[in-house]
């Protein structure tokens, strides 16, 4: 009797506990379910769909090396899993745990369905370094602040080493029907906005190459370099981690080994990278304990914040036409490539929330649709962090100045010139303040707001809460 492996955000063969256990339990039936119903408004956005399509192609190729087909089905996951168990008569079901707010109930329903079908149901970790329940304060409470959370994680030492890739997988001899990937229409048609996405290589192999390149080229300067959008100093592993093409344990171990080989110990650069991986765990820790995080301000007083309803300004921001070069460059990078550098995400988010007084949920939704790494926990936690309404958030009154941020983190203007070619010929001195250029700039929009005035307005809005 076969064992069903239900792939979710663990689209990899190596270090996949669920797949390993399924392969040991019986001949394999591998399935991926596209479920647009259960997540409600959080069904995968357009950029995520592009990634998913390509990642499924790679996963199917990886499985095909062992002659194991990947069955694709569409529908509410519990209903589809019930059908698969019924059609195969499988004795067991294996999957990796997911932490989205609707997942707990879904996994519970799947367990009931499996039990009724006479199949053993097994759920595994692997998406995070630490399960959200495993890390508690001395009082047994969940953490709300990152630093003690990360300290508690580091105190646990290194996670277990990753499991090696499979030497062999055996397919079930029966056959069940599946969809054609093309019929899911996950890729954009007309217009095809994804040409700039060619910088990515979705899939397990692409993830492995990313981390190797990062270790060779950027890790030694990560702690400072990570704040510079003009330099390629971050790993760009986020979409790979989001889809589980690489596990955080594999990342952690690779960094530890590289550091051990280079210096015999973990240095500041490596520690900084591991702590970023822990930010990811921390976002999920928050989401697990406060499942309203994507939709509701964590700090209650922000419920009454006087947001402005301004669809026109929102559109200007989305298109990268605010007149502030670093903000515009970020939003254009996002549209073109499905990615935005972390420092610029913070500046662009701050601009929407504080300079335009537009609700952070509008920005969160835009990112959800356009980021290839759009992630329910990281996105919500980060937007709330910038908004000042989050658990461990930057205080609202700390308002990024987009000119000074640009001058500090893109000092030569290389990043801005790349994404705002209208500004290409400006001298460095005015690249982040083009309105000061004597000759003016053709084709680049005027500022949508004056930052000093907007800052004042934002502080007044904050004051209205108290």
Sign of the alpha-carbon torsion through 327, 329, 331, 337: negative
CA distance 147 to 152: 9
CA distance 331 to 287: 26
Site string for ligand FAD, 258-297 (x = CB under 6 A): ------------------xx-xx--x--------------
CB 128 to ligand FAD: min, Å: 11
Q: How many residues bind ligand FAD (CB under 6 A)?
A: 27
CB 238 to ligand FAD: min, Å: 3
**HSE of 187, CA atoms in CB hemisphere, 13 A:** 13
Question: For ligand FAD, which residue of 322, 365, 382, 389 counts as binding (CB under 6 A)?
Answer: 382
Question: For ligand FAD, which residue of 60, 63, 153, 237 counts as binding (CB under 6 A)?
Answer: 237
Q: Which CB, 8 or 94, lies closer to ligand FAD?
A: 8
Sequence-distant (6+) residues with CB within 8 A of 400 are 346, 347, 350, 351, 354
CB 182 to ligand FAD: min, Å: 27
Task: Kindly indicate which of the ranges 128-136, 151-159, 236-244, 450-458 contains the residues binding ligand FAD, using the contact rule CB under 6 A.
Answer: 236-244
For residue 435, indicate whether it is catalytic: no
159, two tokens: 């996670």
Q: Are the C-beta atoms of 339 and 51 separated by less than 8 Å?
A: no
Q: Which residues pair with 272 in a beta bridge?
A: none
Query: Catalytic one among 131, 307, 401, 422?
Result: 307
CA distance 269 to 266: 8
CA distance 391 to 142: 11
Q: Which of residues 239-258 bind ligand FAD (CB under 6 A)?
A: 241-242
CA distance 309 to 148: 38
CA distance 96 to 124: 5
Residue recorded with tokens 């290194």? 158
For residue 271, indicate whether it is catalytic: no
Q: Which CB, 237 or 393, lies closer to ligand FAD?
A: 237
Query: Catalytic one among 360, 366, 368, 419?
Result: 360
What is the Cα gyration radius of the chain? Answer: 23
Site string for ligand FAD, 83-112 (x = CB under 6 A): ------------------------------
Per rule CB under 6 A, is residue 345 in the interface with ligand FAD? Answer: yes
Q: Which CB, 16 or 378, lies closer to ligand FAD?
A: 378
170, two tokens: 């055996």
315, two tokens: 């559109």
Task: Kindly indicate which of the ranges 4-12, 60-68, 184-192, 229-237 contains the residues binding ligand FAD, using the contact rule CB under 6 A.
Answer: 229-237
Question: For ligand FAD, which residue of 94, 226, 332, 417 counts as binding (CB under 6 A)?
Answer: 226
Query: Catalytic one among 50, 317, 383, 419?
Result: 383
For residue 279, indicate whether it is catalytic: yes
Residue 364 CA: distances (Å) to CA of 140, 253, 277, 289, 332: 31, 31, 21, 20, 16
Task: Kindly indicate which of the ranges 104-112, 118-126, 194-202, 235-243 contains the residues binding ligand FAD, using the contact rule CB under 6 A.
Answer: 235-243
For residue 428, indicate whether it is catalytic: no
For residue 243, indicate whether it is catalytic: no
Per rule CB under 6 A, is residue 235 in the interface with ligand FAD? Answer: yes
What is the side-by-side order of every strand in the sheet holding 3-7?
Answer: 70-74, 28-34, 3-7, 92-96, 120-124
Per rule CB under 6 A, is residue 386 in the interface with ligand FAD? Answer: yes
Task: Kindly indicate which of the ranges 90-98, 230-238, 325-333, 437-445 contains the residues binding ligand FAD, using the contact rule CB under 6 A.
Answer: 230-238
For residue 383, indicate whether it is catalytic: yes
Q: Which CB, 88 or 379, lies closer to ligand FAD?
A: 379
Query: Catalytic one among 276, 321, 333, 364?
Result: 276
Q: What single string gives the DSSP state of each residue in 287-308?
A: HHH-TTTTTS-SSGGGGG----
CA distance 306 to 464: 8
Helix ranges restricted to H, 5-76: 17-25, 46-64
For the annotated catalytic residues, the residue numbers are 276, 279, 307, 342, 360, 383
Contact positions toward ligand FAD, by CB under 6 A?
226, 234-238, 241-242, 276-277, 279-280, 283, 342, 345-346, 349, 367, 371, 373-375, 378-379, 382-383, 386
């Amino acid at each position: 009797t076969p064992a069903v492996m239900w792939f979710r955000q663990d689209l990899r063969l190596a270090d996949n506990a669920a797949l390993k256990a399924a392969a040991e339990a019986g001949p394999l039936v591998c399935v991926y379910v596209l479920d647009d119903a259960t997540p409600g408004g959080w069904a995968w956005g357009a950029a995520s769909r592009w990634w998913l399509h390509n990642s499924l192609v790679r996963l199917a190729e990886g499985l095909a090396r062992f002659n194991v087909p990947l069955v694709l089905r569409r529908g509410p996951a519990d209903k589809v899993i019930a059908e698969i168990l019924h059609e195969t008569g499988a004795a067991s079901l294996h999957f990796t745990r997911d932490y989205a707010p609707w997942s707990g109930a879904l996994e519970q329903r799947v367990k009931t369905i499996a039990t009724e079908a006479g199949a053993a149901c097994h759920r595994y970790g692997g998406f995070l370094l630490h399960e959200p329940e495993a890390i508690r304060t001395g009082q047994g409470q969940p953490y709300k602040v990152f630093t003690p959370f990360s300290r508690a994680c580091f105190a646990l030492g290194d996670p277990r080493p990753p499991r090696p890739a499979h030497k062999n997988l055996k397919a079930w001899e029966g056959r069940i029907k599946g969809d054609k990937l093309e019929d899911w229409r996950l890729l954009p048609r007309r217009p095809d906005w994804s040409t700039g996405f060619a910088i990515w290589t979705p899939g397990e192999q692409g993830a492995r190459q990313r981390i190797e390149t990062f270790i060779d080229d950027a890790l030694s300067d990560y702690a400072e370099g990570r704040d510079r959008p003009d330099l390629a100093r971050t790993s760009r592993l986020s979409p790979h981690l989001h889809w589980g093409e690489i596990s955080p344990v594999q990342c952690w171990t690779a960094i530890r080994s590289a550091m051990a080989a280079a210096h015999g110990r973990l240095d500041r650069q490596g520690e900084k990278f591991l702590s970023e991986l822990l930010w990811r765990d921390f976002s999920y820790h928050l989401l697990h304990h406060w499942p309203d995080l994507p939709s509701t301000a964590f700090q209650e007083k922000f419920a009454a914040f006087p947001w402005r309803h301004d669809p026109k300004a929102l559109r200007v921001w989305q298109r990268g036409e605010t007149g502030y070069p670093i903000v515009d460059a970020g939003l254009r990078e996002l549209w073109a490539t499905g990615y935005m550098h972390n420092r610029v995400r913070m500046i662009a988010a701050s601009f929407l929330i504080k300079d335009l007084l537009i609700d952070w949920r509008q920005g969160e939704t835009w990112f959800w649709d356009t980021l290839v790494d759009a992630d329910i926990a990281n996105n919500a936690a980060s937007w709330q962090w910038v908004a000042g309404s989050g658990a461990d958030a930057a205080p609202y009154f700390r308002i990024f100045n987009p000119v000074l941020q640009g001058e500090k983190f893109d000092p030569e203007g290389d990043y801005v010139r790349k994404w705002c070619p209208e500004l290409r010929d400006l001298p460095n001195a005015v690249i982040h303040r083009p309105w000061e250029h004597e000759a003016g700039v053709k084709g680049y929009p005027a500022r949508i707001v004056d930052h000093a005035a907007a800052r004042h307005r934002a502080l007044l809005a904050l004051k209205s809460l108290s």
